[in-house]
Amino acid sequence: MIIRLDMQSDLPIYTQLMNQIIEGIASGELKPGEDLPSVRSLASDIGVNLHTINKAYTLLKQEGFIQIHRQKGVVVNPDGMPGITPEYEQKQAEQFRPMIAEAICRSMDKERLLQIVESLYEDISHGEKENA
């Protein structure tokens, strides 16, 4: 999997890394049980501080996307991905709300916004079907 980070972005690098790994899992590019690079290795490969990678991995572990083993290293959760919880739905609503508000302010209609969401969903989930 190729990690693409924008070092000029306002979005923190650890968040960009988390998003890339989650998208890799969602698309099927990263399979359950698949090894991920060690913190040191990934930090060296992409040229960032190892604490940045460690923070991303820690948060991904807390969310249930990866497991970290002392001997085995870092792997995509072999037991499958975390399910939908009320807390997850609340988090999603909080993240969508400002994007929807901005779309309304820019006079984007509901149909166009839904088209964009559907297109992104298909784009990501299509990769999962190809990689199966």
Distance CA 65, CA 50 (A): 19
pTM of the predicted model as reported, rounded to 2 decimal places: 0.84
> What stretch of H or E contains 29?
none
List, for residues 31-79, the tens digit of each pLDDT value.
Answer: 999 999 999 999 999 999 999 999 999 999 999 999 998 888 999 999 8
- From its phi and psi, is residue 108 left (phi > 0), alpha (psi between -120 and 50) or beta? beta
Examine residue 37 and state whether it is found in any structural domain, yes or no.
yes
Tally of domains in the chain: 2
pLDDT tens for each residue of 75-126: 999 988 888 999 999 999 999 999 999 999 999 999 999 999 999 999 998 7
- Asked if 60 and 93 sit in the same domain, the reply is no
Cα–Cα distance measured from residue 60 to residue 14, given in angstroms and rounded to the nearest whole number: 10
For residues 90 and 69, state if they share a domain.
Answer: no
Residue 126 confidence (pLDDT):
78
For residues 97 and 53, state if they share a domain.
Answer: no
Domain, as residue range, for 69: 13-76
Which residue, 60, 58, 46, is CA-closest to 7? 46
8 Å CB contact between 57 and 35: no
Beta-carbon count within 10 A of 30 CB: 22
Residue with tokens 């940045």: 52
